[in-house]
Structure formats: structure tokens, C-alpha cells
């Protein structure tokens, strides 16, 4: 499957603890969140493990309303320029901070973004074919080792970026949400196969 993700988390506190602190999903609020993204009434169709929920089928929204957090995953949210989502994120966030990670390993493309109080603080998007697509705001601490050569691509001569976007995207998942799809897990990571997210489709 590779690493594919289109995930946004709205958080009142530290987002990295979203799947550690929260165990009870409010199904009614989750459905309402999915319907805000879909724009129409929906029905729950299944539960998906997190590693699948982060990239659901087209037309499906995976959503979970948890104490202190809301999670929404939809491939229709994935933007090569995450700044394009600012208006929608502002509506959904209701004053909370928002964190997004998007990536598709078949395209070697990854992006992430952070919003606070409806304003975009940081956005980065890149792929080897397009280069740096969007670079807004100041770099976050977890980015620094990548930009300073700590994850350089030594095995591919002429690679157009200083590091693989998918490696970077998985590190963004770890930094923001406490799990990864590929790479080396550490003691802080939850197992995405053990977290279930409700999936909704338009009625």
C-alpha cells in the first residue's frame, strides 16, 4: 500500500496524544463532522483501522470526535498547496489549532500544515517532479534535521530534493499524531492497526 494519508486533526491540547489520551468516540459528533466535510447527510458504513482510515476510498470520510480532539480523513482534502484549505479549516476548527499531513507514496509527494485561530502558520509541500510546491511560515523543530542533511538521499544520484518527501511525511505523522505508516517506530508511537475510526459515506 505504501504511505498514503490525508489527515487533519483539530486539537485543544497537544495533538500527538490524540490516540493515547482519547478512547471513547462520540459517534453522533463524528457523523456531524463527516457531514460538514461531505456537505450532505451521511451514514456510517464501517470501522477502519487507522492505517487504512488515513486514506479512505474516494467519497468516504473517516471521522472521529474524541475528548479534546477531532480527526477527519478524506482524500478529497489532500491539496498540493495546503493553504487552499485555510477557509474550510477555519470553519471546522472553531478556534482550535489544526494539523494536517498529506502524502502519496506513488507520487513521492508529501505536505503538512499547521493553523492556529484560523490562520495558516506553516505549510510545506514537495515532490521530486515539482520541487517545493509551497513553503509558508517558519520551519518547525522536527524539520531541521531534514534540511540540515540528516536524511539526505545518498543512493539516488541527481535526486532533486535534499530528502525523500515520504520519509518527511511519516516524520510529520509521528511528530503531530504519534504514529507512522512506514519507518522505524519508537516507544512514543501507537500501532495504527489497533485504532479504529468510523467511516461515513453520503446517503
115-133 per-position pLDDT tens digit: 999 999 999 999 999 999 9
What does DSSP say about strands 119-127 and 109-116: parallel, antiparallel, or unpaired?
antiparallel
- Residue 199 binned pLDDT confidence (cut-offs 50, 70, 90): very high
Confidence of residue 50 (pLDDT cuts 50, 70, 90): very high
Give every CB contact of residue 47 below 8 A, 6+ residues apart in sequence. Answer: 196, 197, 198, 199
Tell me the mean pLDDT in the region 184-201.
92
C-beta of residue 99 within 8 angstroms of C-beta of residue 11: yes
- Say what the pLDDT of residue 114 is: 98
Domain boundaries in the chain?
4-202
Q: How far apart are CA 74 and CA 88, in angstroms?
A: 13
127 — phi, psi (to 5°)?
-150, 155
Q: What is the pLDDT of residue 191?
A: 93
CA distances from 23 to 58, 139, 185, 195 (A): 27, 32, 21, 9
pLDDT band at 1, cuts 50/70/90?
Answer: low
The predicted structure's pLDDT at residue 56: 97
| 19-33 mean pLDDT | 90
What is the pLDDT averaged over residues 164-180? Answer: 96
Mean pLDDT, residues 50-59? 96
Q: Give the predicted TM-score (pTM) of the model.
A: 0.93
Block residue for cell numbers 498540493: 80
| Mean per-residue pLDDT, 156-167 | 83
- The length of the chain is 203
Instruction: To the nearest 10°, report the CA torsion of 163, 169, 172, 178.
Output: -130
The confidence score (pLDDT) of residue 156 equals 63
Amino acid at each position: 500500500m505504501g504511505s498514503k494519508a490525508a489527515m487533519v486533526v483539530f486539537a485543544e491540547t497537544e495533538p500527538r496524544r490524540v490516540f493515547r489520551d482519547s478512547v471513547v468516540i462520540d459517534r453522533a459528533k463524528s457523523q456531524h463532522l463527516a457531514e460538514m466535510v461531505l456537505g450532505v447527510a451521511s451514514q456510517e458504513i464501517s470501522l477502519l483501522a487507522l492505517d487504512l482510515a488515513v486514506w479512505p476510498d474516494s467519497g468516504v470520510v473517516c471521522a472521529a470526535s474524541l475528548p479534546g480532539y477531532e480527526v477527519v480523513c478524506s482524500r478529497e482534502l489532500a491539496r498540493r498547496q495546503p493553504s487552499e484549505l485555510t477557509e474550510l479549516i477555519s470553519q471546522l476548527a472553531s478556534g482550535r489549532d489544526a494539523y494536517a499531513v498529506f502524502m502519496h507514496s506513488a507520487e513521492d509527494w508529501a505536505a503538512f500544515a499547521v493553523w492556529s485561530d484560523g490562520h495558516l502558520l506553516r505549510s510545506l509541500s514537495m515532490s521530486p517532479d515539482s520541487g517545493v510546491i509551497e513553503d509558508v511560515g517558519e520551519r518547525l523543530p522536527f524539520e531541521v534535521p531534514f534540511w540540515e542533511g540528516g536524511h539526505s538521499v545518498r543512493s539516488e544520484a541527481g535526486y532533486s530534493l535534499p530528502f525523500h518527501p515520504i520519509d518527511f511525511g511519516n516524520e510529520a505523522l509521528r511528530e503531530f499524531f504519534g504514529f507512522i505508516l512506514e519507518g522505524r517506530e519508537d516507544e512514543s508511537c501507537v500501532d495504527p492497526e489497533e485504532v479504529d475510526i468510523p467511516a461515513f459515506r453520503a446517503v
